[in-house]
Amino acid sequence: SLTEGIEQILNLQAKIESEASNKYLAMAAWLDRNGYENTAGYLYKQAEEEREHFLKVFRYITDMGGIAVTPSVPEVQQEFASLREVFEIALQNEIAVTKAINKVIAKCRAENDYATEDFMMWYVAEQREEEKNARRALELFELINENEATGKFELDVQIAKIGA
Ligand code: OFO
């Protein structure tokens, strides 16, 4: 079973994962309509992965006898200044999600909920990977000049390979 505090913070995490999915979806759509079809595909896939992260916490709450609350759907950012800005925001979002996960784990420790702590370790590993990928995407902007004629195209191709 879950304490009230753990149930609450897990529902918050579910909401955060669900929002992460919507944020990637909006980014993917922006990329798509601006000609970046490879990175669009990459972020559509990320959107699906975040949806899975959401469902995984959501179902854990019910599996543990708690009440999983379907999160509301807030507005997300739809417009971006550039390809680079998309990935800068993606990295910031991933860092924020990692912090939220760390808070869940801190709460598990405070309440001696080792089952949930164990469950959350999967997310710790996942975040490590996702932050690394977002950082790698930004590194590519140091290697490929986005202001050169073929730079944007090359970045679109190379960034999309990160997640493959
Ligand atoms: Fe849910 O893995 Fe990133 O945010």
For the segment 14-56, what is each residue's pLDDT rounded down to a tens digit?
A: 999 999 999 999 999 999 999 999 999 999 999 999 999 999 9
How large a percentage of the chain has pLDDT more than 90? 98
Q: Is 53 a pocket residue for ligand 1 (Cβ < 6 Å)?
A: yes
Pocket of ligand 1 contains residue 20 by CB under 6 Å? yes
Q: Whose CA is nearest to atom 1 of ligand 1?
A: 50
Q: For CA atoms 12, 14, 17, 19, give the dihedral sign.
A: negative
Calculate Rg over the CA atoms of the chain.
17
Quote the CA–CA distance of 27 and 17 in Å, as a whole number: 15
User: Could you tell me the distance, in angstroms and rounded to a whole number, from the CA of residue 141 to the centre of ligand 1?
Assistant: 23
Q: Taking the model in full, what pTM does it have?
A: 0.96
The Cα 53–Cα 95 span in angstroms is 16
Q: What is the pLDDT of residue 149?
A: 81
Structure tokens at 125: 């590993």
Q: Would you say residue 164 has pLDDT above 80?
A: no
